[in-house]
């Protein structure tokens, strides 16, 4: 004879459905861009969206240094607003002379070319003020393509206001 088990509390069928307790509305690409149709032949392009890229890797990992600029460039060419912020070691890529002598792989084009292509497409570049302090850098040390120095509040606001945040 097996022992009987009694479970205290309401029966499972009387427990509220978590989705019924909250007014949870699924968010999809199509709800953010209502003029797009999910029946379009080609996937819709997210033009007029905001793309925010956080770059934390620097010259110590050159294989990670080209892709963020390439992605920002593609986003801008697709008519999206694209911004890149450099944190931690990433600020070193904005130091004069660094990106000119760095490539993602042996024989590849210099990172500065990726930066300039993205800049020409309309991408904005910013450096984290705390990261600059860590490396004893100032705005005078930054390449001309850098649009400015920003703090934590700006970075968080941009992240929250963006449609897509990528981190490298």
pLDDT in tens, 74-127: 999 999 999 999 999 999 999 999 999 999 999 899 999 999 999 999 999 999
User: CB neighbours of 116 closer than 8 A, spacing ≥ 6?
Assistant: 145
pLDDT in tens, 58-85: 999 999 999 999 999 999 999 999 999 9
Domain annotation covers residue 65: yes
Is the pLDDT score of 33 beyond 70?
no
Domain annotation covers residue 20: no
Confidence of residue 40 (pLDDT cuts 50, 70, 90): very low
Q: Indicate the number of domains in the chain.
A: 1
Q: Which residue, 105, 127, 121, is CA-closest to 54? A: 127
Q: Looking at the chain, how many residues does it have?
A: 168
pLDDT in tens, 126-142: 999 999 999 999 999 99
- Residue 114: exposure state from Cβ atoms within 10 A (0-12, 13-18, ≥19): buried
Confidence of residue 39 (pLDDT cuts 50, 70, 90): very low
Which residue in this structure is represented by tokens 């700006």?
154
pTM to 2 decimal places: 0.71
Within 10 Å of residue 90's Cβ, how many Cβ atoms?
24
Domain annotation covers residue 16: no
What is the distance, to the nearest Å, from the Cα of residue 55 to the centroid of all Cα atoms in its chain?
8
Domain annotation covers residue 137: yes
CB-based contact 143:94 (threshold 8 Å): yes
Domain annotation covers residue 99: yes
Tokens linked to 162: 């963006």
User: CB neighbours of 16 closer than 8 A, spacing ≥ 6?
Assistant: none
Taken in order 64, 65, 66, 69, the sign of the CA dihedral is positive
Domain annotation covers residue 8: no
Distance between CA atoms of residues 99 and 94, nearest Å? 7
Tokens linked to 31: 């709800």
Q: Which domain holds residue 99?
A: 50-167
CATH code of the domain in which 64 resides: 3.40.1260.10
């Amino acid at each position: 004879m097996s022992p009987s088990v009694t479970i205290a509390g309401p029966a499972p069928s009387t427990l509220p459905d978590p989705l019924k307790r909250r007014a949870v509305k699924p968010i999809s690409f199509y709800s953010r861009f209502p003029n797009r149709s999910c029946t379009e032949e080609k996937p819709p392009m997210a033009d007029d969206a905001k793309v925010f890229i956080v770059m934390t890797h620097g010259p110590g990992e050159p294989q990670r240094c080209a892709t963020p600029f390439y992605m920002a460039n593609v986003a801008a060419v697709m008519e999206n607003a694209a911004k890149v912020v450099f944190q931690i070691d990433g600020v070193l890529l904005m130091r004069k002379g660094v990106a000119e002598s760095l490539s993602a792989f042996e024989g590849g084009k210099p990172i500065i070319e990726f930066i300039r292509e993205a800049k020409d497409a309309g991408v904005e570049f910013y450096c984290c003020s705390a990261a600059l302090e860590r490396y004893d850098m100032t705005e005078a040390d930054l390449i001309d393509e850098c649009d400015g120095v920003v703090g934590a509040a700006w970075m968080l606001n941009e992240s929250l206001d963006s449609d897509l945040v990528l981190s490298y």
